[in-house]
Structure 1
Amino acid sequence: METVSAFHAFLIIEIMCFSIHIVSCNHISLKGNSPSNFLFGTASSSYQFEGAFLNDGKGLNNWDVFTHKPGTILDGTNGDTAVDQYHLYQEDLGLMNNIGVNSYRLSISWARILPTLLKGGQETCGSMFIHKYDMYFLPQHISCPGVGIQPFVTLTHYDIPQELEDRYGAWLSSLLQEDFRYYANICFKFFGDRVKYWSTFNEPNVVVIRGYRSGIYPPSHCSLPFGNCTSGDSEREPFIAAHNIILSHAAAVNIYRTKYQKKQGGSIGMVMNAVWYEPISNSLEDRLAAERAQSFYINWFLDPILHGRYPAEMHELLGADLPVFSKFDLEMLKNGLDFIGINHYTSFYSKDCMFSPCEPGPGASRTEGYALRTAQKDGVYIGEPVWYGVEENPNSTNEELFHDVKRVEYLRSYLQALADTMRTKAADVRGYFVWSLLDDFEWTSGYTVKFGLHHVDYGTLKRTPRLSASWYRQFIANNTLQILSAQE
């Protein structure tokens, strides 16, 4: 993994890979010691974990509404209860302590902070919310012997107040920039003395693509041939929504820089979904297609924040369809970010569709960069096709539920590859988070797949560690893998 110069990278790994090459490795032993500030953690998000969807005055968010519509979720479920971390947080803190992690990635529910978007609305349930989250944000409450668990906090992990959608169309309106700035300011004010790592957004590229191009996530906007929704424009709206998210990020960073960062001593960044695109052939056209695929997927968001402009490939293909940054926007974007978080799922081949005809498929359109995405070349997958979620059925045995050998193999091999990259390419990586601490509500898949280090019985909410939890605990305790930072 390559990182942007002068920025830290927090590698936030979600164990959901479709096809990635697995390197079998029974033992990892590298010379040197892990940097004392390297973050080893697990991860969660508010809608997938908390439940308590109307408790203590919380307002409705877009996923509360979306999941209650028939046909939106594979198994017809929702996150009303999820794994009830809102009430069972003390037990979950004990699980973290048992593993020995020094960080926990979580997100805040915007609708819980602001049940109404009227200014001053945080007073409605703010005191109850702060009481609950102090258990995360006060390290002395959740510390292992000599090691505090640092909260790594995301302001928005897919869920936003439904009122934003109802009032002015959410990310399609520039009005949301001010509402996000206001919300971010509340979080920095109340929690910033305890939170040293802030992320403005989790995977905004996924939010935009699935919400405004394919329509499979809220607000379910799309148009043919990308999807069959009741409203939307798949070739125009994704770029409007992305523009407003980018400027909302800039607004939040600006207020953090000017009012809080110097006093609170934290850092702020963004977490992106990252897919690696490998050219399907060695031709110049396919190599350029792979570069365009990256530009239309991740550089789409990062280039404006880092360089003050959209990628050149996007300008070339989209022209006037691409929004323009004002002088005020560009000034605000100069604040950039302190780190980039990477959620890595998988890799694909990329095939040129600009200079040679392509069959219809993901990536092949003009607004996706004319770069067809495929997991196979000549009928062979780019890596071993695997699914790291545990899929349960009524006849599943305890061995199948708890002995997740393939996940352990993946963790081991991925950490080996990470360490090699840090040593040989001086990649400045500062943390590694496993998705996820617990089985949870997995968006449109509902509860049909489970990615937790701990199995959750959804009838009783009992948490039981899997083999992967034991492996991760031993790995951290024994320092089996010793990560070297670029500075060492």
Structure 2
Amino acid sequence: MAKKPTRHVKEWTIPDKEVTRTDFPSDFVFGVATSAYQVEGASKEGNRGASIWDAFSHTEGKILDGSNADVAVDQYHRYKEDIELISMLGFDAYRFSISWSRIFPDGLGTKVNDEGIKYYNNVIDALLEKGIQPWVTLYHWDLPLHLDESMGGWLNKQIVKYFTIYAETCFVNFGDRVRNWITINEPLQTAVNGYCLGIFAPGRTENASTETYLAAHHQLLAHASAVSIYRTKYKEKQGGQIGLVLDCEWAEALSDKTEDISAAERRLDFQIGWFLNPIYCTDYPEVMHERLGDRLPKFSQEEKDLLRNSTDFVGLNHYTSRYISHSTENPEGHEFYEAQEIERIAEWEGGETIGEKAGSFWLYVVPWGIRKTLNYISHKYNNPPIYVTENGMDDEEDHSAELHEMLDDKLRVAYFKDYLAAVVQAIKDGADVRGYFVWSLLDNFEWCQGYTKRFGVVYVDYKNGLSRHLKSSAYWFLKFFKSGKGKGEKEE
């Protein structure tokens, strides 16, 4: 266990004054987020094809509680009820993902599934009827199973073509009403957890030293190809914007030692630089080239040109932070971290932690980290528009707790207060932050953790018909949005 850090972050502490809606620009977007596989269910309805997560979750030993998302929280049938909740709470936007295998059951793009098109049309129309803007993610990890089994999924460059066909089909069918598009959610998680650690679908570990970077490479090219199609054929007519969503936990150097400061910089390059450098700086970070050599795929000049500035905004999913020290011992035990020569530290001698612990083993409450992350992106990449596309924390499922105990989520309320205050500070620092999305609207299927973790501001009662119940955090947002009403505006 590491010694207590010698660097301090006092200047990054959160002010005592509670944040209100009026602290943000009037056109700042506030939304909630989910993803298709985690909430929709109806896995065999509407002519939906199987995804890699269907296969993975049905493989014994892959999901902590042995569950799957065949039903999930049944948003496929309950979307109107959930949209009513979003409206009642006062959010401007709903970020959701489209299931690729609902549009093309085999992923190939040969025949459009009309039932899938109809379902998402209904969701989009229901949102707009309530004055809620749809923010559509095209890919949130649920690759059509056929693409993985027949051609290796993200390991095959052909997938760029199939993703582009799928993306264009969505632009054609939904782009007259959808103004905000996200190509791919967290390509790092797909690459590292899916093709290195094997804890996410498709669960590969055999050739991690090369497949991790190949899967990321093809996701980048798929993103850039879809953006090119959108900008060339649809953007002018439809008037929307399109971006990429990346995840990044802040990396704070453990000490003022040069080796620790360099280690923290490396950590950020291996997280966010991996994907933003090819977009804004024409190639992968130099440190990745130095440490990975031939394992890192190369871009042709044509691909570099395709990638250049291929995003209208940066979507940031941020939850937590770590202290980082230089280490050659690979305490994580995986190739991806071995190449970085770092140790990620949340706890040090004496048991003190970087922040209060949430439900998941990886999640600590560290509000100052989001401000630092936003400023880092702003300074390094010439101040691009940024939307915080996910931010939140989870509670451990507790089968012995009474419902009222689970609804009184005091730590989550404190989390949102402090993280939002830190976002306000980042805006004052000069970062061009334009929106914030809560993760998540609902408790749901939390990937390899199954239903053991609850991220929602709305509680889902898995034992009693998946009924929805507002938590204290949901009521806090209701009050927060009312705090932004002017004196002349009516509060309902």
CA RMSD across the alignment: 2.1
Q: Deviations over 1:175-234 (max 9, x none)?
A: 101000111010111111111111111111011110111111111111xxxxxxxxx212
One-letter amino acid matched to 1:389: D
Matching residue of 1:190: 173
Residues 121-140 of structure 1: matches in 2 within 5 Å? 121-122=111-112, 125-126=113-114, 128-138=115-125
Alpha-carbon distance, 1:401 to partner: 1.3
Residues 198-209 of structure 1: matches in 2 within 5 Å? 198-209=181-192
For the residues of structure 1 that align with 2:286 and 2:204, how far apart are their CA atoms? Answer: 27
Closer/same/farther in 2, CA of residues 318 and 33 from structure 1, 3 Å limit: closer
For the residues of structure 1 that align with 2:318 and 2:93, how far apart are their CA atoms? Answer: 19
Equivalent in 258, 272, 275 of residue 301 of structure 1? 275
The alignment's TM-score, normalised by the length of structure 2, stands at 0.85
Alpha-carbon distance, 1:71 to partner: 0.6
Identity %: 43
Residues 64-463 of structure 1: matches in 2 within 5 Å? 64-122=54-112, 125-126=113-114, 128-138=115-125, 141-143=128-130, 148-222=131-205, 232-353=206-327, 357-358=328-329, 360-361=331-332, 368-379=339-350, 380-387=352-359, 388-423=393-428, 425-459=429-463, 460-463=465-468
Closer/same/farther in 2, CA of residues 413 and 221 from structure 1, 3 Å limit: same
Matching residue of 1:464: 469
Secondary structure class of the residue paired with 2:420: helix
Matching residue of 2:19: 28
For the residues of structure 2 that align with 1:140 and 1:204, how far apart are their CA atoms? Answer: 27
One-letter amino acid matched to 2:259: E
For the residues of structure 2 that align with 1:294 and 1:444, how far apart are their CA atoms? Answer: 25
Secondary structure class of the residue paired with 1:381: coil
Could you tell me whether the CA contact under 8 Å between 1:250 and 1:335 is conserved in 2? no
For the residues of structure 2 that align with 1:359 and 1:265, how far apart are their CA atoms? Answer: 48
For the residues of structure 1 that align with 2:33 and 2:127, how far apart are their CA atoms? Answer: 20
One-letter amino acid matched to 2:346: A
Closer/same/farther in 2, CA of residues 439 and 65 from structure 1, 3 Å limit: same
Could you tell me whether the CA contact under 8 Å between 1:278 and 1:348 is conserved in 2? yes
Bigger CA drift: 21-30 or 289-298?
21-30
One-letter amino acid matched to 1:468: S
Alpha-carbon distance, 1:129 to partner: 2.2
Secondary structure class of the residue paired with 2:134: strand
Closer/same/farther in 2, CA of residues 204 and 119 from structure 1, 3 Å limit: closer
One-letter amino acid matched to 1:80: D
Matching residue of 2:386: none
Q: Deviations over 1:91-131 (max 9, x none)?
A: 11110111011100000000000012344311xx22x2233
Secondary structure class of the residue paired with 2:357: coil
Closer/same/farther in 2, CA of residues 376 and 140 from structure 1, 3 Å limit: closer
For the residues of structure 1 that align with 2:423 and 2:34, how far apart are their CA atoms? Answer: 22
Count of aligned positions: 440
Alpha-carbon distance, 1:452 to partner: 1.1
For the residues of structure 2 that align with 1:382 and 1:352, how far apart are their CA atoms? Answer: 18
Equivalent in 49, 56, 67 of residue 59 of structure 1? 49
For the residues of structure 2 that align with 1:86 and 1:221, how far apart are their CA atoms? Answer: 30
For the residues of structure 2 that align with 1:327 and 1:41, how far apart are their CA atoms? Answer: 38
Matching residue of 1:476: 481
For the residues of structure 2 that align with 1:24 and 1:36, how far apart are their CA atoms? Answer: 22
Alpha-carbon distance, 1:315 to partner: 1.1
Alpha-carbon distance, 1:25 to partner: 4.7
Closer/same/farther in 2, CA of residues 23 and 58 from structure 1, 3 Å limit: same
For the residues of structure 1 that align with 2:41 and 2:261, how far apart are their CA atoms? Answer: 45
Secondary structure class of the residue paired with 1:318: helix
Secondary structure class of the residue paired with 2:324: strand
For the residues of structure 2 that align with 1:365 and 1:197, how far apart are their CA atoms? Answer: 33
Q: Deviations over 1:22-65 (max 9, x none)?
A: 958573358x6643431111110000010000101110000011
Secondary structure class of the residue paired with 2:434: strand
For the residues of structure 2 that align with 1:476 and 1:135, how far apart are their CA atoms? Answer: 27
Could you tell me whether the CA contact under 8 Å between 2:108 and 2:147 is conserved in 1? no
Matching residue of 2:4: none
Closer/same/farther in 2, CA of residues 373 and 430 from structure 1, 3 Å limit: same
One-letter amino acid matched to 2:460: V
For the residues of structure 1 that align with 2:163 and 2:335, how far apart are their CA atoms? Answer: 33
Could you tell me whether the CA contact under 8 Å between 1:211 and 1:220 is conserved in 2? yes
For the residues of structure 2 that align with 1:24 and 1:428, how far apart are their CA atoms? Answer: 21
Secondary structure class of the residue paired with 1:408: helix
Secondary structure class of the residue paired with 1:167: helix
For the residues of structure 2 that align with 1:233 and 1:480, how far apart are their CA atoms? Answer: 55
Secondary structure class of the residue paired with 1:89: helix
Closer/same/farther in 2, CA of residues 366 and 135 from structure 1, 3 Å limit: closer
Closer/same/farther in 2, CA of residues 297 and 363 from structure 1, 3 Å limit: farther
Alpha-carbon distance, 1:366 to partner: 7.0
The alignment's TM-score, normalised by the length of structure 1, stands at 0.86
Could you tell me whether the CA contact under 8 Å between 2:209 and 2:335 is conserved in 1? no
For the residues of structure 2 that align with 1:441 and 1:250, how far apart are their CA atoms? Answer: 30
Alpha-carbon distance, 1:350 to partner: 1.3
Q: Deviations over 1:116-175 (max 9, x none)?
A: 2344311xx22x2233222332367532xxxx2101110001111001111110111101
Could you tell me whether the CA contact under 8 Å between 1:280 and 1:377 is conserved in 2? no
For the residues of structure 1 that align with 2:342 and 2:61, how far apart are their CA atoms? Answer: 31
Secondary structure class of the residue paired with 1:77: coil
Matching residue of 1:38: 28
